[in-house]
Amino acid sequence: MKIQKTEWGYIEWLYTHEESSAKQSMNVGIVVILPDKHQYRHTHTDEQLLYILDGEGIYTINDEIMHLHKGMYVYMEAGTAHETINTGTVPIRELLVSNPIYYEPQIVIDKYNTQSIVTPSNLYTAVEAIRTNLIETLNTPFTIYDETWSVVLQSRVFPNFCMTKCNPDKTQTDCACMLQQIYRGAKQLKCDQFVCPHGMTVYHFPIIYKNKCIGVIRGGHILLSDSEHDHPEGLYDTPQSTAIGIRRLLRQVAKNIASFCEFDAARRELQEKENAIAQTVYHKEQLAENLRVAQDTVTNLKINHHFLFNTLNSMANMALKSNSDDLYGAIIDLAKMFRYTMKSNLRFVALDSELGYLENYLNLQRLRYGQALSIEYNINDELRYIAVPFNFLQPIVENAFTHGFRNCDLQKRIRIQVEKYEECAVISIYNNGTVLDNVTLNRVTKGIRGNTGHGLSLIYTKLHSAYGEDFNMNIRSVCKEGTCVSIRVPIKLYEEAET
């Protein structure tokens, strides 16, 4: 039986799983909290079941206070905030059963070409693709670096102790955990760890792709009872089971990033093969058949939309007769938007048509926000009839409402600017919403070129399909000015463009 001594008592470990085994995960032990001792608030990275064998005290679970007593049991899922105070005269004894969260999606891929190029964009594309569903759900502090030691992504759940001592998300140059550039040449997914000058244990995993270290993930930032440093007041002394769970989570993230890179490489290779097939006669025959089916589908959609347009017209007439001018205008704008999106056979349209569609969309947003929304147009009239991709402008503005204005309580401002620069047109969309920090801006900028299939990445793909390399899409975000998406395209009149 292994005894782990802590600042608040000790743990008698009855069973601990083998960390290297994917089949084992459960840990079982007897937790002993001594009288007048305090397990400070901490967040679980694993799921736990506690059964009170003896003693009494106070639990605070996710800010809910409850009195613990003998015979009581509590289940806590991963991410639960937990605090315990022994208010009795005898030790609290708890049966602890913990199970680290183990998430490792299986990505099935074919063999890839080991000679393909490994670039920093592989890492940024992978992080952006799995960020929302996996990485941002972790309840542990971590930082992901690329091979040049630039921050790709950093969590916002560092302990208050770290924020007070070093504030790692603001002043990284003052934090030893961020400065130690070690193990960069690693070629195996092996955990290394070190203790910072303030006594926090930090784990370090290389991200290995094609036998090359393309980045690292660091995390943990926990106090372990076997550290030689003093125990700061108010800092939770972490059990070994929790430390094992944290290491396992970080290892999974490193493996998942590498797996996505492999999957993405296989997807790109498959896409290249499909492009080659597209040059054959057989593929042309298949394309013709698909086109016939698509045309029939579009015809059916248009027939169905006739009913929708007729219904909207009837609603507009009813609104007009009842003097509901705002409702009438909104229905007309919505009908125009539906009619515009039905032009599915167009590859290019005049910029003026895109601006009209955007104006209909913003009119509907005005109906929602009223005077809290300010819109400004600054358009060079000479450029109104240049050819631009169909339906590329409105999704960029919608992105401002979805993300930029999410936590914005100020007057919301949108500015659309079209100007001529040398032989190109520069289309800029400004919003005064949330300003992106450098790490987020760097991740988003590299992510849109990674063809992740969502958000601004879709717009970049559409522009690349229309112009090849003869365009530029840039994002900048400056305090007191907001965020701007600028697109530079060649000037070509709509009549001359392919439709």
- The domains of the chain are located at 2-100, 120-274, 374-499
Range of weakest confidence among 153-162, 164-173, 178-187, 266-275: 178-187
* DSSP code for 59: E
401-406 own/partner pairs: CB under 8 Å, 24+ apart: 401/365, 403/433, 403/434, 404/431, 404/433, 404/434, 404/482, 404/483, 405/431, 405/433, 405/434, 406/433, 406/434
2-100 topology per CATH: Jelly Rolls (2.60.120)
Residues 70, 29: contact at Cβ < 8 Å? Answer: no
Looking at residue 486, what is its pLDDT? 95
Q: What is the CATH number that goes with domain 120-274?
A: 3.30.450
In a 13 Å sphere around the CA of 250, the CA atoms on its Cβ side amount to 30
Q: N- to C-terminal Cα distance for the chain?
A: 76
Q: Highest mean pLDDT: which of 5-19, 25-39, 226-240?
A: 25-39
Residues 232, 197: contact at Cβ < 8 Å? Answer: no
d(CA 229, CA 195): 9
Count CB-CB contacts under 10 A for residue 8: 22
Q: Is the pLDDT of residue 185 over 80?
A: no
Would you call 417 exposed, middle or buried from its count of C-beta atoms within 10 A (0-12, 13-18, 19+)? middle
Range of weakest confidence among 40-49, 78-87, 213-222, 276-285: 276-285
Residues 236, 227: contact at Cβ < 8 Å? Answer: no
Looking at residue 440, what is its pLDDT? 85
Runs of H (alpha helix) within 196-324: 240-277, 281-321
Average pLDDT over residues 209-221: 87
Average pLDDT over residues 179-189: 59
More confident residue, 16 or 89: 89
To 5 degrees, how large is the angle CA 195–CA 196–CA 201? 40
Q: Is the pLDDT of residue 290 over 70?
A: no
pLDDT band at 159 (very low <50, low <70, confident <90, very high): confident
Helix, strand, or coil (residue 155): coil
Average pLDDT over residues 164-189: 69
More confident residue, 339 or 312: 339
As a whole number, the mean pLDDT across the chain is 79
Looking at residue 112, what is its pLDDT? 41
CA nearest to 331, candidates 360, 374, 366: 360
Q: Highest mean pLDDT: which of 288-297, 373-382, 392-401, 444-453?
A: 373-382
Average pLDDT over residues 274-279: 73
More confident residue, 418 or 179: 418
Give Cα 390 distance to the centre of its chain.
28
Percent of the chain with pLDDT over 90: 18
Average pLDDT over residues 467-495: 89
| CATH 3.30.565.10 holds for 374-499 | yes
Looking at residue 429, what is its pLDDT? 94
Residues 80, 105: contact at Cβ < 8 Å? Answer: no
**DSSP string spanning 384-431?**
TTBEEETT-SHHHHHHIIIIITTT--S-EEEEEEEEEETTEEEEEEEE
Tell me how long the chain is.
Answer: 499
pLDDT digits (tens, 9 = 90+) for 47-68: 889 999 999 999 999 889 999 9
Q: Is the pLDDT of residue 352 over 90?
A: yes
Looking at residue 431, what is its pLDDT? 92
Range of weakest confidence among 6-20, 119-133, 208-222, 343-357: 119-133
Looking at residue 107, what is its pLDDT? 44
More confident residue, 357 or 181: 357
Residues 33, 84: contact at Cβ < 8 Å? Answer: yes
CA nearest to 364, candidates 333, 400, 335: 333
Q: Is the pLDDT of residue 27 over 60?
A: yes
